[in-house]
């Protein structure tokens, strides 16, 4: 079956549109490219496109140009990535499709021969969040921990590397990042007793260039923040794509929760879990780190995207990164040295009282889960914001954040490992008290963290965000509504109902001067399974993946 599919790929690719190689120079200038060349469009992870053809005056004229149905019922989280007239989307269970970005014609398909043993170490749905492009190749990771390079024109396998052997409690769900001739991938597995890592491979040969463990050994800096031996199963996984500053040649990559979940068995800050790591792109050497939630006991992964912006503080313009953390705080750091600038809550938070002026998290000891009683916590393990990426507009200087209003009752089990994972506690999701709905899209001022406007939703806000130079913000929710908002006021300018809830990431691109907007519908992922009342609200929503591509009506 696989071989037959590959033969079809070659036959279809014979009529493929021209494909321009994706060079280092093009990636460095991706913010101004007509395509969408990487996970968040550009290395700064802004999710912003400088396009103006579709604006407030005509967005209501958007029409569906084509759709593509995957016939898979799981969560569809991949952003459409576009080079020229070729679009790449991934699906659940590790399939990669190349389409004509104008007509939707299938150019080729690749179906990974997935080792199903690996699915025992996959949390929160069998998803894939997309690809990286470099040269004439397209790269993606798999649930059984492979990094694969395919010829972008034909779908032919160029090389395949085992990042971690099957059976080691890892998975790859995030999109890799191509930078400086390397393809860099993170891993997932914090719920299964894995030890987080980043790995960089030569984009041409597939040879390993460097590997960086995120949880230090006892002899390494930070190693004494763990009890003896626990670092080997310490979590800190790297499952969301990082950002990159070409001026300083620095990667910024987030790390996930420590393991096991229950903090009572691992005294200490548990470095470098729930952190952002600033790494030298050539070697993986750590330049600095910042820990958003030390000694985490609530699954407050720090993996959410690091968006590179300039902020003004005390009259000075500072090269910074902003980050909407699962712990419910919007944090800004000086990206040169990790110096803390501010941290502002954007949802209800009970486990911490913010940060000291130097950036130390002020955790509340009495709010930690403990044996013999349930502990009520806000936000829930789904976070004040889950992985769904924010967007930033340099025109409005606002960050557009998909928010969740969920809390939890946490129960200590006394058993660290069970058939599902490496926990020591159970979490039951409940509604946030005093809040009418489960979702919100909020616009935050990056200089202060202050909320400028908000759109409330009964349904969880589970779509990624896109913003454009024409003053639009695109995003969608679990009900399947896809919106265009006015970027300055939050006014709804356009809305359409798609075939399923949205956990996809919208992108936009231009071909021959015509602008397109693309997004996956196909509900699934963690909130759909573990969102308590929010999951119940969406339990009967249609499932099934379908890519939608919009453009203005006939010209």
478-502 pLDDT per residue, tens: 999 999 999 999 999 999 999 999 9
Quickly state the pLDDT bin for 554 (edges 50, 70, 90). Answer: low
Question: What's the pLDDT band for 5 if we cut at 50, 70, 90?
Answer: very low
- Mean model confidence pLDDT for the chain: 94
**Structural tokens at position 471:** 């003053």
* pLDDT-derived band at 52, boundaries 50, 70, 90: very high
Under DSSP, the state recorded for 219 is: T
From the CB of residue 358, how many other CB atoms can be counted at a distance below 10 Å? 7
* Cβ neighbours of residue 95 closer than 8 Å, sequence gap 6 or more: 70, 72, 109, 110, 111, 112
Q: How confident is the model at residue 468, as a pLDDT?
A: 98
What confidence tens digit (pLDDT) does each residue in 25-36 have? 999 999 999 999
Q: How confident is the model at residue 73 (pLDDT cuts 50, 70, 90)?
A: very high
Q: Which of 34, 296, 299, 481 is catalytic?
A: 299
pLDDT exceeds 80 at position 15 = no
Q: pTM of the entire structure?
A: 0.96
Q: Which residues pair with 403 in a beta bridge?
A: 440
Sheet holding 398-404, edge to edge: 391-393, 398-404, 439-445, 451-457
Residue 112, pLDDT > 90, answer yes
Span 420-443, pLDDT tens digits: 678 899 999 999 999 999 999 999
Q: How many CB atoms are located within 10 Å of the residue 120 CB?
A: 14
Please say if the pLDDT value at position 418 is more than 90.
no
Q: Which two tokens stand for residue 339?
A: 């110096």
> Which pLDDT does position 7 carry in this prediction?
33
299 is catalytic: yes
Confidence of residue 196 (pLDDT cuts 50, 70, 90): very high
Q: What is the band of 419 on the pLDDT scale with cuts at 50, 70, 90?
A: low
The CA dihedral of 270, 275, 280, 283, to the nearest 10 degrees, is 40
φ and ψ at residue 533, rounded to 5 degrees:
-65, -30
The predicted model gives 261-279 an average pLDDT of 97
Tokens read off for 452: 């400028």
Distances (CA, A) of 57 to 209, 263, 470, 484, 508: 49, 53, 10, 12, 18
Residue 374: both structure tokens together: 């349930």
Report how far residue 196's alpha carbon sits from residue 193's, in angstroms, rounded to the nearest whole number: 10
Q: Is the pLDDT of residue 288 over 90?
A: yes
Please report the beta strands in 357-476, taking only residues with DSSP state E, as ranges in sequence order. 361-363, 375-377, 391-393, 398-404, 406-412, 425-431, 439-445, 451-457, 466-468, 472-476
In the chain, domain spans:
2-552
For 76-94, what is the mean pLDDT? 98
Q: How far is CA 450 from CA 314, 402, 472, 493, in A?
A: 16, 15, 20, 24
Overall average pLDDT of the 75-104 stretch:
98
Annotate 85-116 with DSSP letters as a single string: TEEEEEETTTEEEEEETTT--EEEEEE----G
pLDDT at 1 over 80: no
Residue 77 has which token pair? 């989280």
Neighbour count for residue 67 (Cβ, 10 Å):
13
- Average pLDDT of the residues in 407-411: 96
Give me the residue label for tokens 């960050």. Answer: 399
Strand partners, 352: 363
**Plot region of 293 (φ>0 → left; ψ -120 to 50 → alpha; else → beta):** beta
Which CATH number is 2-552's, of 3.20.20.410, 2.140.10.10, 2.60.40.10, 2.60.40.420?
2.140.10.10
Give the per-residue pLDDT at 213.
98
**Model confidence pLDDT, tens digit, residues 443-464:** 999 999 999 999 999 999 999 9
pLDDT tens-digit readout, 119-158: 888 889 999 999 999 999 999 999 999 999 999 999 999 9
Name the E strands within 58-181: 62-69, 81-83, 86-91, 95-100, 106-111, 132-134, 137-141, 146-151, 157-162, 177-179
> What pLDDT was estimated at residue 16?
78
Q: Phi and psi dihedrals of 111, rounded to 5?
A: -115, 115
Average pLDDT over residues 525-538: 90
- Asked if residue 23 has pLDDT above 70, the reply is yes
pLDDT recorded at residue 297: 97
């Amino acid at each position: 079956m696989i071989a037959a599919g590959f033969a079809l790929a070659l036959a279809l690719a014979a009529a493929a549109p021209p494909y321009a190689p994706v060079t280092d120079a093009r990636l460095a200038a991706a913010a101004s490219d007509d395509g969408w060349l990487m996970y968040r469009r550009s290395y700064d992870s802004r999710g912003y496109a400088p396009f103006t053809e579709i604006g407030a005056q005509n967005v209501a004229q958007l029409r569906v140009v084509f759709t593509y149905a995957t016939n898979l019922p799981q969560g569809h989280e991949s952003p459409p990535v576009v080079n020229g007239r070729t679009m790449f989307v991934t699906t659940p269970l590790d399939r990669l499709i190349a389409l004509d970005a104008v007509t939707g014609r299938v150019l080729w398909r690749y179906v990974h021969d997935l080792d199903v043993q690996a699915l025992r170490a996959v949390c929160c749905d069998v998803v894939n969040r997309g690809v990286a492009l470099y040269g004439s190749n397209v790269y993606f990771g798999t649930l059984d921990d492979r990094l694969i390079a395919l010829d972008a024109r034909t779908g032919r396998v160029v090389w395949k590397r085992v990042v971690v052997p099957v059976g080691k409690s890892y998975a790859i769900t995030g999109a890799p990042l191509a930078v400086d001739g390397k393809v860099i991938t993170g891993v997932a597995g914090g719920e299964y007793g894995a030890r987080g890592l980043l790995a960089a491979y030569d984009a041409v040969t597939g040879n390993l260039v460097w590997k960086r463990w995120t949880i230090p050994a006892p002899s390494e800096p930070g190693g004494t923040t763990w009890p003896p031996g626990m670092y080997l199963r310490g979590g800190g996984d790297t499952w969301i794509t990082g950002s990159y500053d070409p001026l300083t040649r620095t990667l910024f990559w987030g790390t996930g929760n420590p393991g096991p979940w229950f903090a009572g068995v691992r005294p200490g800050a548990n470095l470098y879990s729930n952190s952002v790591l600033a790494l030298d792109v050539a070697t993986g050497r750590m330049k600095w780190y910042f820990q958003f939630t030390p000694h985490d006991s609530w699954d407050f992964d720090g993996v959410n995207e690091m968006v590179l912006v300039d902020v003004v503080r005390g009259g000075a313009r500072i090269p910074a990164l902003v980050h909407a953390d699962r712990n419910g705080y919007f944090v800004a750091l000086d990206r040169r040295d990790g110096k803390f600038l501010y941290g502002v809550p954007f949802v209800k938070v009970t486990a911490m009282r913010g940060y000291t002026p130097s950036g130390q998290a002020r955790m509340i000891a009495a709010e930690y889960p403990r044996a013999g009683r349930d502990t009520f916590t806000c936000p829930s393990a789904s976070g004040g914001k889950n992985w769904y990426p924010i967007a930033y507009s340099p025109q409005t200087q606002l960050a557009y954040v998909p928010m969740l209003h969920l809390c939890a009752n946490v129960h200590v089990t006394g058993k660290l490992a069970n058939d599902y994972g490496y926990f020591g506690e159970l979490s039951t999701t409940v509604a946030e008290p005093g809040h009418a709905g489960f979702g919100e899209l909020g616009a935050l001022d990056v200089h202060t963290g202050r909320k400028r406007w908000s759109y409330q939703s009964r349904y969880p806000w589970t779509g990624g965000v896109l913003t454009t130079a024409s003053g639009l913000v695109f995003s969608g929710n679990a009900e399947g509504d896809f919106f265009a908002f006015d970027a300055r006021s939050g006014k709804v300018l356009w809305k359409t109902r798609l075939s399923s809830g949205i956990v996809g990431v919208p992108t936009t691109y231009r071909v021959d001067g015509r602008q397109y907007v693309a997004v996956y519908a196909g509900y699934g992922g963690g909130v759909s399974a573990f969102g308590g009342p929010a999951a119940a609200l969406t339990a009967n929503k249609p499932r099934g993946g379908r890519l939608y591509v919009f453009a203005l009506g006939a010209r």
